[in-house]
Structure 1
């Protein structure tokens, strides 16, 4: 009989520890989500991955889909929405119409550049990329990360991943997952 009681106590202790661990994880996730809110007082970006808020965005040079050279530092003095995507990514497909609408309605007036970097090494080929751009009528720059170096530098592990870069070339925010038009408007407006 005492062995059964000891066994039950050990089992009950294990169950309590699992419950405590789950509650702590839930609280940490909730705190991270709160920190992602626009205007929150966060010293670093909402995820552990990526570059720290306030750091200078690493410069890069890529060739865009239209053959033009794109260098990030050339856009200093403008706000930059730096986006990483691929054609096979459903959240990227959901986000692109919002990005094009933002570009049409706000980019010129608000001194904003959209650089939507295709993770070419992860994609299905040039023809798929061109069809995607045509399907969504994308008119902003599509730099091609043909070696995967820029995506690696910006730790774009989950896509879409976007960085908001201010006029001084400093990272102000990172968003992992798709953005809609109101979110883009709010993030850009929050940048100085």
Structure 2
């Protein structure tokens, strides 16, 4: 897979805007999730630990993306993040716009974007996160 990532801008839970086009030059991992998903509840803490281990100057950007359009109760997102103590930045999908733009069909799903802004992989819950991290290594010096 090597296609341009959709030109998306999403808000964080704290109100900042993150646009994929502003992340060119960085490798980006997007992790799509919802609060009610047991696999997401296992997946996010592992990705959070990975995020916390990154040095501040890392050319790798890691974001979680809550798929609001698949949430039974969107008001549970912030309490969920607090409950799990996540430091991983949370982007809020507008309904399912980002989820659909990447052609995703399940959660959790992980999207890998190279420094040129191209989607290099889309992975569902059957692919261990460390396998995704191994693929990231080739774009980091």
TM-score, normalised to structure 2, is 0.88
1:58-73 paired onto structure 2 within 5 Å: 58-73=6-21
Q: Which has the higher contact order (CA 8 A, sep 6+)?
A: 2
The structure 2 residue matched to 1:90, chosen from 10, 30, 38, is: 38
Divergent runs of 4+, >4 A: 178-181
The structure 2 residue matched to 1:143, chosen from 91, 100, 103, is: 91
Q: Alpha-carbon deviation of 1:107?
A: 5.6
Secondary structure of the residue aligned to 2:94 is: coil
Alpha-carbon distance in 2 for matches of 1:172, 1:98:
21
Matched residue count: 140
Which runs of no fewer than 5 residues in structure 1 stay unpaired?
1-52
Q: 2:65 maps to which residue?
A: 117
More strand per residue: 2
Q: Alpha-carbon deviation of 1:97?
A: 1.1
TM-score, normalised to structure 1, is 0.66
Alpha-carbon distance in 2 for matches of 1:173, 1:107:
24
Say which one has the larger Rg: 1
Q: Alpha-carbon deviation of 1:184?
A: 4.1
More helix per residue: 1
Aligned-CA RMSD value: 1.9
